[in-house]
């Protein structure tokens, strides 16, 4: 039996359509949801990401304000812009694309964004809220992982969940969100002993190591759900994830492809956070 291939592209469209519907309701109440997108410098990958975010805003009927600053922008110039955006009543969300040029301290910038406009969920206040299970913003990629699992029809409650990778932007928050769904969570990483054994017991495995073939067929229980957050290029230059997809799909119950799995979900969840920001700032449930 071959696994169900989880269609992240289709699920991301469903989520964007939900954001579009919410944007319509907000506009009927006189609120125009608005995201400020800030790009500093000439990083070509960042430019592609930022354009995709602006396109998603357009699709969801969320207004986007674009700020493109030169490579030699100073830290205080950027902090000044953030201060202005923090104060603007018309701006609900602020996204500063990372990485930033080396003269700018990213931590300072993240701390400067008002937590109630921090749609990336990078500010320590919001990171803390994820750990305490509060309402508000969810980090986009980990939240996308949860949606993929749920919309496959899986109830996470009581399931054995393994997260491979302990990064601050994916592994750790993904573990917290799985726990908030009442999963029993184990985090594995490069120093973990018996990783195959731990994974073999899992109903759900989230892989976020940035290393090709982190998860192989022998590590997977029959019917397990596999979410691959990886985005690598193999020797042939082809995009691939952290999971040995071709072999693991023979035993898994459901699995995300790369590309077309987790990737499109990040921006969809960003749109959802923009709507959440507009609702929170206007006292709308």
Residues that bind ligand GUN (CB under 6 A): 95-98, 120, 140, 266
Q: Give the SS3 label for residue 228.
A: strand
* Residue 99 C-beta: closest distance to ligand GUN, Å: 7
C-alpha–C-alpha distance, residues 216 and 253, integer Å: 14
* Residue 231 C-beta: closest distance to ligand GUN, Å: 11
Query: Is 119 within 8 Å of 93 (Cβ atoms)?
Result: yes
* Residue 263 C-beta: closest distance to ligand GUN, Å: 11
* Residue 180 C-beta: closest distance to ligand GUN, Å: 20
Q: Which residue has the tokens 């969570």?
A: 185
Q: Which residue number, 140 or 278, has a Cβ lying nearer to ligand GUN?
A: 140
* Residue 139 C-beta: closest distance to ligand GUN, Å: 8
Q: Which residue number, 12 or 266, has a Cβ lying nearer to ligand GUN?
A: 266
C-alpha–C-alpha distance, residues 132 and 136, integer Å: 11
- Report H helices in the chain: 8-28, 44-59, 75-87, 106-112, 124-132, 140-150, 171-180, 195-200, 245-248, 263-281
Q: Which residue number, 147 or 244, has a Cβ lying nearer to ligand GUN?
A: 147
Quick count: other Cβ atoms within 10 Å of Cβ 237? 6
Q: Which of 150, 40, 45 is nearest to 106 (CA)?
A: 40
Supply 81's token pair: 């812009």
Q: Which residue number, 36 or 220, has a Cβ lying nearer to ligand GUN?
A: 36
Query: Is 62 within 8 Å of 271 (Cβ atoms)?
Result: yes
- Active-site residue numbers? 53, 97, 120
Using CB atoms, what's the residue nearest to ligand GUN?
98
Q: Which residue has the tokens 């899992």?
A: 202
Q: Which residue number, 96 or 143, has a Cβ lying nearer to ligand GUN?
A: 96
């Amino acid at each position: 039996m071959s696994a169900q291939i989880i269609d992240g592209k289709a699920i991301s469209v469903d989520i964007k359509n939900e954001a579009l519907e919410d944007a319509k309701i907000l506009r009927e109440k006189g609120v125009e949801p608005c995201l400020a997108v800030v790009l500093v410098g000439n990083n070509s990958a960042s430019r592609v990401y930022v354009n995709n975010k602006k396109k998603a805003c357009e699709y969801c009927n969320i207004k986007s304000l674009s700020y493109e600053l030169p490579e030699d922008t100073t830290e205080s110039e950027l902090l000044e812009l953030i201060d202005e955006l923090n104060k603007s009543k018309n701006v609900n969300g602020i996204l500063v694309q990372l990485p930033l040029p080396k003269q700018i301290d990213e931590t300072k910038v993240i701390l400067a964004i008002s937590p109630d406009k921090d749609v990336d969920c990078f500010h320590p206040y919001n990171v803390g809220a994820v750990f305490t299970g509060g309402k508000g913003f969810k980090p986009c990629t980990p939240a996308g992982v949860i949606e993929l699992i749920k919309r496959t029809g899986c109830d996470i409650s009581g399931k054995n969940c393994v997260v491979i990778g302990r990064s601050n932007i994916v592994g750790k928050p993904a573990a917290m969100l799985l726990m908030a769904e009442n999963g029993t969570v184990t985090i594995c990483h490069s120093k973990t002993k018996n990783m195959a054994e731990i994974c073999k017991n899992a109903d759900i495995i989230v892989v976020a190591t940035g290393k090709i073939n982190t998860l192989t067929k022998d590590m997977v229980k029959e019917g397990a759900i596999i979410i691959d957050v990886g985005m690598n290029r193999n020797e042939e230059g082809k995009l691939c994830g952290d999971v040995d997809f071709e072999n693991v799909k023979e035993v898994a119950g459901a699995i995300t492809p790369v590309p077309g799995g987790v990737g499109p979900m990040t921006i969809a969840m960003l749109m959802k956070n923009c709507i959440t920001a507009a609702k929170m700032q206007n006292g709308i449930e």
